[in-house]
Amino acid sequence: MIARLFALLMLAVASPTSAQGGDFTIGDQHIQPADIVDARAIPDLEGPPVIMITFNDAGVGKLMAATRGGNTGLTIMVPVAIDGEKLTDLVTTEVRGDAVLTITARGRSIAQAEALAKRISGKDPVPEEFAE
């Protein structure tokens, strides 16, 4: 019994998604889990689910660095990827300095989008309401 519990504990600790997240990149910027306040999947009744990523100040700085080419007024496409898998292109004509980035989880169910959000942030979404 103790051996089984120990094996399960070791499996959970060794899991690649446990509190580390994947290699999330926007353009040439590597976004660390510490740069992300929250990432959550949101269903869309008219299309695929979306993932809303909320950055802290360091994350906003990396987003700005990734989109600096948009400062020319020309449209640029900045790849957004995790573990080398391209998720989408961020299309912009300006430097993006917003704290929230929303990407479409094309080809994914809501459950798959939730798992992807967790891979991006390395943690569960922040609860929407706190119990008193």
Domains of the chain (ranges, CATH numbers): 2-121 (3.30.1360.200)
* 96-124 mean pLDDT: 96
Q: Which residues contact 2 (CB under 8 A, 6 or more apart)?
A: none
* Mean per-residue pLDDT over the chain, rounded: 85
pLDDT at 132 over 70: no
Task: Give yes or no for a contact between 43 and 127, defined as CB atoms under 8 angstroms apart.
Answer: no
Residue-level pLDDT at 1: 39
Q: pLDDT tens digits, residue range 3-47?
A: 333 333 333 333 333 446 789 999 999 999 999 999 999 999 899
Residue-level pLDDT at 124: 94
Residue-level pLDDT at 20: 63
pLDDT at 112 over 60: yes
Residue-level pLDDT at 7: 35
Q: pLDDT tens digits, residue range 50-104?
A: 999 999 999 999 999 999 987 777 899 999 999 999 999 999 999 999 999 999 9
Q: How far, CA to CA in Å, does 64 sit from each of 69, 99, 110, 111?
A: 9, 10, 29, 30
Task: Give yes or no for a contact between 105 and 82, defined as CB atoms under 8 angstroms apart.
Answer: no
Question: Whole-prediction pTM value?
Answer: 0.79
Q: Which residue has the higher pLDDT, 89 or 129?
A: 89
Q: Would you give the DSSP letter of residue 56?
A: -
